[in-house]
């Protein structure tokens, strides 16, 4: 698929769709308001106003040239990165990442990815884990045997999170997700097996451009991220709140995701770090790098 890097024109205009840019430097990164459904693609995961404009301009060019068929689709790049470089103690066992087909918690990566997507999109902006600067909102909506980690809108971020004992952790290293918006809200086709296949094919073309992915746990690099940790989700039902990230109508929307993910078994009590970072070939110069400092409770 051909991609363009944009024309450099400013992103302005009023409309329903709102792309919230990086809150790490709110004074330097005003909200970008997008004409909806004119701006049918919302790019999430950019660390600066210039970076956000680049991704949005890139998509505008694509729509103009050859993507008009999916105008008003809400496709969100959600690169969720968490990181830290704490050194593991000498002789400590190597960290473990469970493979996508392990079904260790009665779900494979495909079902876990759908659950992650439903979780992260259901939380209003005011307390969204994606907009969290210090880890204060990490526990919202969590339950069951697996906890989810979210990222930010790009650049560098550090969060400190208390994790209950016995909780596995699941998170995307880099992912794209699609929230379907059929009429009267948008112009997507109603959800069907054909629409699901189409949405996933679109997402895959972007995820295929991921580069320089790094996953580190307690200072140790996990190998074979590209070969072993790629998965697409089953169809989820994203219940968007009124104050949602996309400026879309609240309520249920079918949704799918594709990306690189990691499922960690419960960590031992004490302090741990998780670090992952990456770039996207479709947007040169764009990166994410976030640190999670975890305090795992005793059993």
Average pLDDT for 287-295: 89
The total of other beta-carbon atoms located within 10 Å of residue 243's CB is 14
* pLDDT tens digits for range 225-268: 999 999 999 999 999 999 998 888 999 999 999 999 999 999 99
Query: Residue 194's pLDDT is what?
Result: 98
Average pLDDT for 35-50: 30
Which of 72-76, 81-85, 155-159, 229-233 has the weakest average pLDDT?
Answer: 81-85
Residues in contact with 99: Cβ distance below 8 Å, sequence separation at least 6, in sequence order = 228
- 146-148 and 230-232 beta bridge pairing: unpaired
Query: Residue 150's pLDDT is what?
Result: 86
In the predicted structure, residue 193 carries a pLDDT above the cut 90: yes
In the predicted structure, residue 96 carries a pLDDT above the cut 60: yes
Query: Residue 31's pLDDT is what?
Result: 28
Measured over the CA atoms of residue 251, residue 116, residue 51 and residue 210, the dihedral's sign is: negative
- 236-240 and 251-264 beta bridge pairing: antiparallel
In the predicted structure, residue 60 carries a pLDDT above the cut 70: no
Rg of the Cα atoms in the chain: 18
Q: How far apart are CA 274 and CA 8, in angstroms?
A: 35
Laid out side by side, the sheet with 270-280 consists of: 155-163, 287-296, 270-280, 210-217, 220-221
In the predicted structure, residue 79 carries a pLDDT above the cut 60: no
Query: Residue 75's pLDDT is what?
Result: 43
In the predicted structure, residue 4 carries a pLDDT above the cut 70: no
In the predicted structure, residue 282 carries a pLDDT above the cut 70: yes
Please choose, from the candidates 232, 222, 216, the residue with its C-alpha nearest in 3D space to the C-alpha of residue 290: 216
Please report how many Cα atoms fall inside a 13 Å half-sphere around the Cα of residue 173, on the Cβ side: 31
Confidence of residue 92 (pLDDT cuts 50, 70, 90): low
Measured over the CA atoms of residue 197, residue 202, residue 205 and residue 208, the dihedral's sign is: negative
In the predicted structure, residue 169 carries a pLDDT above the cut 60: yes
In the predicted structure, residue 17 carries a pLDDT above the cut 60: no
Query: 158 vs 115, which has greater pLDDT?
Result: 115
In the predicted structure, residue 5 carries a pLDDT above the cut 70: no
In the predicted structure, residue 29 carries a pLDDT above the cut 70: no
Question: Of how many residues is the chain composed?
Answer: 299
Which of 13-17, 68-72, 128-132 has the weakest average pLDDT?
Answer: 13-17
Q: How far apart are CA 150 and CA 287, in angstroms?
A: 16
Query: Residue 49's pLDDT is what?
Result: 31
Q: pTM score > 0.75 for this model?
A: no
Please choose, from the candidates 15, 13, 11, 10, the residue with its C-alpha nearest in 3D space to the C-alpha of residue 248: 15
Confidence of residue 94 (pLDDT cuts 50, 70, 90): low
| Domain chopping of the chain, boundaries | 17-296
Question: In whole numbers, what is the pLDDT of the chain averaged over residues?
Answer: 74
DSSP 33-101: EE-TTTS--B----SSHHHHHHHHHHHHHHIIIIIGGGTT-EEEE--------PPPPTTPPPP--B-TT
Q: How far apart are CA 59 and CA 211, in angstroms?
A: 19
Confidence of residue 16 (pLDDT cuts 50, 70, 90): very low
In the predicted structure, residue 212 carries a pLDDT above the cut 60: yes
Query: Residue 93's pLDDT is what?
Result: 65
22-27 contacts: CB < 8 A, separation 24 or more?
22/46, 22/47, 22/48, 22/49, 22/52, 22/152, 22/153, 22/154, 22/155, 23/131, 23/133, 23/152, 23/153, 24/133, 24/152, 24/153, 24/155, 24/156, 24/157, 25/155
Q: Which helix (H) or strand (E) holds 176?
A: strand 168-179
């Amino acid at each position: 698929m051909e991609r363009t890097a944009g024309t450099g024109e400013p992103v302005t205009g009023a409309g329903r769709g709102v792309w919230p840019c990086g809150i790490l430097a709110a004074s330097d990164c005003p909200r970008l308001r997008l004409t909806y459904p004119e701006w049918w693609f919302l790019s999430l995961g950019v660390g600066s106003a210039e970076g956000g404009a680049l991704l949005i301009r890139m998509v505008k060019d694509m729509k103009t040239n050859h993507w008009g068929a999916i105008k008003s689709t809400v496709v969100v790049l959600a690169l969720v990165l968490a990181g830290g470089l704490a050194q593991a103690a000498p002789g400590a066992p190597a960290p473990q990442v469970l493979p996508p087909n392990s079904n260790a918690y009665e779900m494979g990566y495909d079902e876990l990815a759908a659950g992650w997507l439903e979780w992260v999109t259901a939380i209003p902006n005011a307390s969204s884990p994606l907009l969290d600067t210090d880890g204060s909102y990490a526990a919202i909506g969590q339950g069951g045997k697996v906890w989810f980690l979210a990222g930010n809108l790009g650049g560098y971020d550090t969060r400190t999170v208390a994790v209950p004992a016995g909780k596995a952790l699941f998170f995307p290293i880099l992912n794209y997700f699609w929230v379907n918006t059929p009429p009267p809200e948008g112009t997507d086709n109603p959800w069907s097996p054909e629409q699901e296949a189409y949405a996933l094919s679109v997402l895959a073309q972007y995820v295929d451009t991921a580069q320089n992915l790094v996953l580190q746990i307690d200072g140790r690099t996990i190998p074979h991220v590209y070969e072993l940790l790629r998965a697409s989700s089953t169809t989820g039902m994203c219940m968007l709140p009124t104050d949602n990230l996309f400026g879309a109508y609240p309520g249920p929307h079918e949704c799918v995701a594709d990306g690189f993910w990691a499922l960690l078994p419960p960590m031992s009590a004490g302090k741990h770090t998780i670090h992952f970072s990456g770039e996207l070939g479709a947007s040169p110069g764009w990166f994410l790098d976030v640190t999670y400092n975890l305090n795992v409770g005793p059993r």
